[in-house]
A and B are shown apart, each in its own frame.
Chain A
Amino acid sequence: EVQLVQSGAEVKKPGESLKISCKGSGYSFTSYWIGWVRQMPGKGLEWMGIIYPGDSDTRYSPSFQGQVTISADKSISTAYLQWSSLKASDTAMYYCARRGSSFLGMDVWGQGTTVTVSS
């Protein structure tokens, strides 16, 4: 079964660092782009960026460039989203999703990771 499994919920304080993960299985992890999407409470979906694990080519939304770092470790089929200094406004659900290999759509989604930043 093709799936993306994300790490568990996090509760952090402002200024702390965080790295959440997204592990792919059931397919060739290095052959598909993996994107990250933010959904703030009660709001819509926001595109953050995307990585190609095969060569770590990474593209960021201008809104998130410099705010987060997207990376991948192809040896363990895992993509990451990290923050060096969290803010309360980073409180949200974060999804990873796979882009179709030959079509334009995100066809497999992780279950989401809730990040809560509060003092």
Chain B
Amino acid sequence: AIQLTQSPSSLSASVGDRVTITCRASQGISSALAWYQQKPGKAPKLLIYDASSLESGVPSRFSGSGSGTDFTLTISSLQPEDFATYYCQQFNNYRFTFGPGTKVDIK
């Protein structure tokens, strides 16, 4: 089964900072990757699909890139509402595993 790792596992940042989160797959998955944001007590929210496509209604400060085994989620200018945990998910062969998550909190 394909494993996903995320780095860092947590980070502290300030409003306005540029934030980058990395997701690495144990084998190539083309562009079959999505990114989600989850706030405490809430269901996850889709941000990015197909590795780099922005979900409708998601602010343009979020972007995704990568293919194969290495992927990146970037928040260009962190806003107060962006403090949350972020997960990547791969879509290979119906075993759609998630990464362990990256918690973004306030510095």
Contacts and interface: CB of A to CB of B under 8 A. Distances in A.
Given A44-B87, A44-B100, A44-B101, A100 B94 contact: no
A104 B1 contact: no
B89 A106 contact: yes
Given A44-B100, A45-B101, A105 B94 contact: no
A94 to B, nearest CB: 11
B25 interface: no
Interface residues of B, number: 28
Contacts of B94: 50, 59
Contact of A109 (B1, B34, B44, B50): B44
Interface in A57-106: 59, 61-62, 95, 97, 100, 103-106
Interface residues of A, number: 22
A100 to B, nearest CB: 6
Contacts, number: 67
B43 A107 contact: no
B42 to A, nearest CB: 8
A18 B31 CA distance: 37
Contacts of A110: 43
Q: Which of A35, A95, A109 has the most CB of B within 10 A?
A: A109
A105 B43 CA distance: 14
B97 A47 contact: yes
B95 A61 contact: yes
Given A35-B96, A50-B94, A62-B95, A45 B34 contact: no
Q: Which of A95, A100, A104 has the most CB of B within 10 A?
A: A104
Contacts of A24: none
Contact of B48 (A44, A45, A59, A105): A105
Given A45-B87, A45-B98, A59-B94, A103 B43 contact: no
Interface of A: 35, 37, 44-47, 50, 59, 61-62, 95, 97, 100, 103-107, 109-112
Nearest 10 pairs of A and B residues by beta carbon: A105-B49, A105-B34, A59-B94, A109-B43, A104-B91, A45-B98, A44-B101, A103-B49, A47-B96, A105-B46
